[in-house]
Amino acid sequence: MNAFSLSPAVSFAAYGGFLIIGVVAAMVGPLVPFVRADLGLSYAEAGLLFSAQSVGALAVLLAGGWLVHALGKRRILFAGALAFAVGMVLTAVAPEFWTLMGGNVLIGAGMALLDIGISTLVIDANREGKGKALGLLHFFFGAGAVLGPLVALTIGHVPGGWRWAFGVIGVLPLVMALAVPFLKMPPSPEATIGQKFAVYKRPLLWLGAIALFVYCGVEWGVGAWFPSYWKAIPGAQSLDPAWATSLFWLTFAVGRFVMGPWADRWGFVRFLSVSIAATLAVCLLWVIFPHPLAALAWVLVFGFVIAGQYPTFVALVSHVFPRSSGQVTSVLSIFAALVSFVWPPAIGAWADARGIEALPWAQLVMTLLLVATAAVAFVAEKRTRG
């Protein structure tokens, strides 16, 4: 099957699901000030919004491999869309802190289930051309991440606007939940339980997950902290940090759209090697030439060159273990979800010690760590293939 083997209805649901996940993931941060003002939350309480989503996601992802086997893609997608919708509505009507937390736990769980279900669906439907298929899928996450801050900027200043944002967008996963029972799912590869779960004994799965974990730290180092960096450096005040961040996500989305075919054509290991080397070069340029205009240019190029790395890591591991697509996606998603617990606080501590202006150095250090972990994963991939 090729990248266009899904029916139009299933393609719409898959790509639309990732678009919604991207919008919500990127709009929460800009909406936090309005949520705080409306509910009278402290900064610490407001920050727990992100932790609540991560708790919900990890609770699901830890059982993700078993859930895919026991429930199948259709039930996973239905449960994820329904949990996502209920969480969005609970958040929209939350009168106080604990209802808000409960809603965001459900949002995190719903997004994680949709991530596992949709990724497994696309992998199973594309035995060849995984780079292009996953790149296109993740392009829609990037497009959603561009739209998220713009949604927040547009509606945030309206009285109760943050509630409308969660409530109206929450209708979309509900529509998806209602549609899932009628969608034709691609078949899963034939395999016994033992064959599916044998992947957990293979070093490549875990080494690929560690490399992906480091990659996500590189991505979110800019995604989470560039607005604060841009606000702090002299001479950058003419461009709002939210717009500067949206520009980063725009080049990121473009990169996701165009790079999938490159990964298929070059081979996954070669593509990742070139992409990571380019990331390292951009970080070095950012350290050497940190002037605001140059910094903005480096970050826009950075968004483009890193864009293909996440879907290509997923394609690399899933291509080696085609019978275990659900188990592979769940493990990789666990390591990606752990990022919010580790990298943003670590970079925050770096900023406290050295100033947020030292962000380029933090990105350089993390990229060097990515070089090392990816190299080990590539050796494991070569040994696995024999």
pLDDT per residue over 124-163, tens digit each? Answer: 887 777 788 888 888 898 889 888 888 887 887 888 999 9
Number of Cβ atoms within 10 Å of the Cβ of 270: 13
12 CB-near residues (< 8 Å, 6+ apart): none
Q: How far is residue 21 CA from its own chain's centroid? A: 8
**What is the distance between the alpha carbons of residues 110 and 106, in angstroms, rounded to a whole number?**
6
Question: 2-32: per-residue pLDDT in tens?
Answer: 444 677 888 889 999 999 999 998 888 788 8
**What is the distance between the alpha carbons of residues 321 and 305, in angstroms, rounded to a whole number?**
27
HSE-CB at 366 with a 13 A cutoff on CA atoms is 29
User: What DSSP assignment string belongs to 260-287?
Assistant: HHHHHHH-HHHHHHHHHHHHHHHHHHHH
- Please say whether the structural domain 196-385 has been given the CATH code 1.20.1250.20: yes
Tell me the CATH number of domain 8-188, given options 1.20.1250.20, 3.40.50.150, 3.90.480.10, 1.10.150.20: 1.20.1250.20
Q: Taking residues 71-87, what's their average pLDDT? A: 94
Q: What is the pLDDT of residue 1?
A: 38
Q: Taking residues 349-366, what's their average pLDDT? A: 88
Spatial contact of 222 and 348, defined as CB atoms under 8 Å apart: no
Question: 291-318: per-residue pLDDT in tens?
Answer: 888 999 999 999 999 999 999 999 999 8
Nearest to 35 by CA among 164, 227, 169: 164
pLDDT at 91 over 80: yes
pTM score of the predicted model: 0.80
DSSP code for 323: G
**What is the distance between the alpha carbons of residues 326 and 185, in angstroms, rounded to a whole number?**
14
**What is the distance between the alpha carbons of residues 253 and 307, in angstroms, rounded to a whole number?**
7
Q: 3-state class of 187 per DSSP?
A: coil
Q: How far is residue 95 CA from its own chain's centroid? A: 29
Lowest mean pLDDT among 6-10, 108-112, 218-222, 342-346: 342-346
Domain with CATH 1.20.1250.20 in the chain: 8-188, 196-385
